[in-house]
């Protein structure tokens, strides 16, 4: 397998974007990534376009706004892991020698309220209970919290601290959808969505786009900005669980994917400087601390309570604000995570800069199910 690098990134702010189309958003991210790499569009040899709810040929509609060169354009859908799956495919194309330069782009326009796409909304383990009248994903994570709390003693206050951290980080991110600070009391007293999850413990629906250009070492040497090496790119699907086990779907697949990524990269969890993980709900971040090997199983609540995931802590988790506060346009999320890592490595993150960041991990979970883990480094 060839060495593979991210050479350019681009991203729109996340938010509502009522006045923009996916074509508008996608071309903004794509043009940004090209300029960041110092490349012209004809350098792109393949394009992988992530979108979950935009129609079968949305990728062509977006890319043809920028250029129409007859290259392969592949539309990708993998629930919340859609964007990161597009990135995985771009990495595989360059690693294998099929292309020297490949584009991964993700974009989405979403309405307010619970996810309306039936396939995405239904992507939850069949054995997971759903309280009457509750939206499917919040209700699933309500059960995840209850199971984790019963087994390990995780508290609502520990979960709320995740929201406080990520909103505080987002207040330093001009592209975040919810760029404001919140207090513990704000989180605990917000409107109840699926007991005990309040509104501020749930990610919003969002619109936006993000793009990353992946290239071979030879191309990377001639690009405008410092390339970022991709040490690991992993995609895994679910294995059957035990009926009624609310934790299986958020533990087994994520732990397995992370272990494969660490092995492929040849690094240990303790070496990471920052992580962008799939904090679709506050309890998910706590469970993923454990899945990613940041702490022992059952100690995720304590990890949050002690502030170990804060900027300046043991490892900066979701310095962008994460899905909880930066936003979660399904097709764009996984690529936006890599945008954050690349900008952090280049020292471009302003007041949320993680000092000395050199090694980072991006993690996405699409329920139904798929998990991606990418490990990147600036030490090249």
Q: Which of 69, 133, 138 is nearest to 101 (CA)?
A: 69
CA 365 – CA 142 distance, rounded (Å): 17
The one catalytic residue in 17, 49, 80, 202 is: 80
Does the annotation count 80 as an active-site position? Answer: yes
Count the helices and strands in the chain (H runs, E runs): 13, 12
Does the annotation count 328 as an active-site position? Answer: yes
CA 141 – CA 183 distance, rounded (Å): 22
Q: What sign results for the dihedral spanned by CA atoms 218, 223, 225, 229?
A: negative
Look up tokens 């920052």; give the residue.
Answer: 274
Query: Which residues, in sequence order, are CB contacts of 109 under 8 Å at separation 6+?
Result: 17, 20, 21, 22, 25, 53, 54, 207, 329
Q: What sign results for the dihedral spanned by CA atoms 44, 48, 52, 57?
A: positive
Q: What is the DSSP letter of 352?
A: G
The one catalytic residue in 328, 363, 364, 374 is: 328
Residues with catalytic annotation?
80, 328
């Amino acid at each position: 397998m060839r060495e593979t690098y991210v050479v350019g990134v681009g991203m729109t702010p996340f938010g509502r974007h009522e006045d923009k189309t996916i074509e508008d958003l996608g071309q903004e991210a794509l043009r940004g990534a090209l300029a960041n790499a110092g490349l012209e569009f004809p350098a792109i040899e393949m394009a992988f376009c992530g979108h979950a709810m935009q129609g079968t040929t949305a990728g062509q509609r977006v890319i043809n706004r920028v250029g129409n060169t007859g290259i392969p354009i592949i539309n990708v859908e993998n629930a919340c892991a859609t964007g990161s799956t597009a990135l995985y495919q771009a990495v595989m194309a360059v690693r294998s020698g099929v292309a020297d330069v490949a584009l991964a782009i993700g974009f989405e326009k979403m309405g307010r309220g619970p996810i309306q796409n039936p396939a995405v909304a239904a992507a939850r383990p069949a054995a997971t209970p759903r309280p009457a009248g509750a939206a499917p994903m919040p209700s699933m994570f309500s059960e995840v919290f209850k199971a984790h709390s019963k087994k390990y003693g995780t508290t609502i206050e520990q979960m709320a601290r995740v929201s406080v951290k990520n909103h505080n980080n987002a207040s330093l991110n001009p592209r975040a959808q919810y760029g404001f600070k919140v207090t513990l009391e704000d989180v605990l007293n917000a409107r109840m969505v699926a007991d005990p999850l309040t509104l501020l413990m749930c990610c919003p629906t969002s619109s936006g786009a993000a793009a990353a250009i992946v290239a071979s070492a030879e191309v990377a040497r001639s690009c405008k900005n410092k390339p970022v090496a991709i040490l690991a790119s992993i995609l895994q699907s679910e294995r059957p669980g035990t009926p009624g086990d609310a934790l299986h779907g958020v533990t087994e697949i994520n732990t397995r994917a992370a272990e494969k990524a660490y092995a492929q990269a040849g690094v240990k969890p303790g070496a990471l400087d920052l992580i962008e993980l799939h904090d679709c709900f506050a309890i998910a971040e706590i469970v993923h601390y454990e899945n990613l090997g940041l702490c022992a199983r059952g100690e995720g609540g304590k990890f949050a309570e002690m502030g170990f995931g804060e900027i300046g802590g043991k490892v900066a988790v979701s310095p962008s604000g994460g899905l909880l506060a930066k936003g979660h346009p399904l097709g764009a999320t996984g690529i936006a995570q890599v945008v954050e890592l690349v900008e952090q490595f280049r020292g471009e993150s302003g007041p949320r800069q993680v000092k000395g960041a050199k090694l980072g991990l991006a993690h996405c979970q699409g329920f139904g199910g798929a998990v991606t883990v990418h490990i990147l480094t600036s030490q090249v």
